[in-house]
Amino acid sequence: MQYTLRQIGFLFLLFLLTTSCKKKAKEILKEQPYAIVIHGGAGTILPENMSATQKEQYHTILEKAIKKGFFILEKGGTSLTAVQKTIQLLEDSPLFNAGKGAVFDNQGKNKMDASIMDGKTLNSGAVAGVSNIKNPINAARLVMDSTKYVLLFGKGAEIFAQQQGVKFEPDAYFYTKGRHESLLRVQKKERNVRGYSIDSKQKKLKHYGTVGAVALDKNGNIAAATSTGGLTNKKYGRIGDSPIIGAGTYANNKTCGVSSTGTGEYFIRTLAAHEVSNLIYYKNFSAKEAVKEVIHNQITSLGGDGGMIVLDKNGNIAWSFNTKGMYRAYKKSNGDEKIKMFKMVKDTI
Ligand code: ASP
């Protein structure tokens, strides 16, 4: 078979075009990293205070959680679904102060807060002060997807969740012996300590275990979510930072996603999660520099305690805390994976 010069030229052009397209497609696929980072609360987490079994239990659940989120991302799922499902898994564990393991307020009830944010649209949903909702994060997602509101509170939020078919559980489901003992201990201390104002005592409580997740998906979209039972023995309908967009949770595709844990009042006062994003956007800080500045400068100088996880639009992960430890883990598309609990002499991220 004979080809004219024109035909040969055309075939050559076609060949060039398809190989360069393939190369481009490969580059795009290679260039878009995806990842998930989680925390399970910060606080007095010391190796000497934990038995080998406890360490194992935390390690196992943290690993299960990042694997779950990562699997969703790997299959092409959205970062929103990845953070929601990961948080759901952590809420179902009695080990964390969220969902099943939520702490008790001073009335002996479990009042929970949760929020979720989509970094692509800046849409957000949150619930605060809700009881008996098995997975508050699912109610938060529905607030975002099915209402024109961002934050629903108390009874109203529960009615909304009921109408949406969210699963409820009786009080007994949320009873965990350890959390109940903590409540009794704190209340006993409160009765015994004289000359202490209720507020100053409240600030001294260090019962964390809030859960948070941030994910970046294959489409470059970031999402963040946080869920908590708040502080043990909390009073007067106290709400912390976890359901407050910009304080406990923030996501913006232009910068990063953030989830906070710690004494919520300090994270609200500094709008901590949004502050991290702002430092990246306006001051060109890296994720690592931004989270360090907010935790070790802004929060610490106010006397606050806690930690944050950050995942930026390029897939960089950073975390920081000024407490003894923070349950934390991540998994990235480049194969990197880390599961940590205690303070490191030299933490690499
Ligand atoms: N930040 C949560 C709150 O203040 C508590 C926590 O992180 O455990 O409600």
Q: Does residue 262's CB lie within 6 angstroms of at least one atom of ligand 1?
A: yes
- Shared domain for 242 and 332, answered yes or no, is yes
- Shared domain for 139 and 189, answered yes or no, is yes
CA–CA separation, 58 vs 8, rounded Å? 64
Average pLDDT of the residues in 260-286? 98
- Shared domain for 22 and 114, answered yes or no, is no
- Shared domain for 44 and 15, answered yes or no, is no
Q: Is 210 part of the annotated catalytic residue set?
A: yes
In contact, 223 and 250? CB cutoff 8 Å = no
Q: Does residue 307's CB lie within 6 angstroms of at least one atom of ligand 1?
A: no
Question: Does residue 18 belong to any structural domain of this protein?
Answer: yes
Residue nearest to atom 5 of ligand 1 (CA): 230
Question: Does residue 297 belong to any structural domain of this protein?
Answer: yes
* Identified catalytic residue from 210, 232, 255, 323: 210
Ligand 1 atom nearest to CA at 43 = 8
Question: Does residue 6 belong to any structural domain of this protein?
Answer: yes
Ligand 1 atom nearest to CA at 264 = 4
Domain containing 243: what range? 33-342
Average pLDDT of the residues in 211-224? 98
pLDDT value for 303? 97
CA–CA separation, 123 vs 145, rounded Å? 8
Q: Does residue 252's CB lie within 6 angstroms of at least one atom of ligand 1?
A: no
- Cα 148 vs. chain centroid, distance in angstroms? 23
- Shared domain for 128 and 4, answered yes or no, is no
- Shared domain for 287 and 320, answered yes or no, is yes
- Shared domain for 232 and 328, answered yes or no, is yes
Is residue 22 pLDDT above 80, yes or no? no
pLDDT value for 89? 98
Q: Does residue 241's CB lie within 6 angstroms of at least one atom of ligand 1?
A: yes
- Shared domain for 85 and 116, answered yes or no, is yes
- Shared domain for 212 and 125, answered yes or no, is yes
Average pLDDT of the residues in 203-219? 82
pLDDT value for 15? 73
In contact, 330 and 73? CB cutoff 8 Å = no
DSSP-assigned letter for residue 245: B
- Shared domain for 24 and 38, answered yes or no, is no
- Shared domain for 158 and 127, answered yes or no, is yes
Residues with Cβ within 8 Å of 311's Cβ and at least 6 positions away in sequence, in order, are: 35, 36, 37, 214, 215, 216, 222, 256, 257, 287, 317, 330
Q: Does residue 210's CB lie within 6 angstroms of at least one atom of ligand 1?
A: yes
Q: Does residue 97's CB lie within 6 angstroms of at least one atom of ligand 1?
A: yes
Q: How many domains does the chain have?
A: 2
Listed in order, strand segments (DSSP E) in the chain are 35-43, 112-118, 124-130, 151-153, 211-216, 222-228, 249-251, 256-262, 306-312, 317-321, 325-332, 337-342
Confidence of residue 44 (pLDDT cuts 50, 70, 90): confident
In tens, the pLDDT along 131-152 reads 999 999 999 999 999 999 999 9
- Shared domain for 11 and 149, answered yes or no, is no
Ligand 1 atom nearest to CA at 113 = 9
In tens, the pLDDT along 177-206 reads 999 999 999 999 888 865 444 444 444 446
Question: Does residue 349 belong to any structural domain of this protein?
Answer: no
More confident residue, 22 or 139: 139
- Among the residue ranges 1-15, 73-87, 241-255, 309-323, the one predicted with the least confidence is 1-15
Confidence of residue 10 (pLDDT cuts 50, 70, 90): confident
Question: Does residue 347 belong to any structural domain of this protein?
Answer: no
Percent of the chain with pLDDT over 90: 81
Question: Does residue 308 belong to any structural domain of this protein?
Answer: yes
Q: How far is the CA of 65 from the centre of ligand 1 (A)?
A: 20
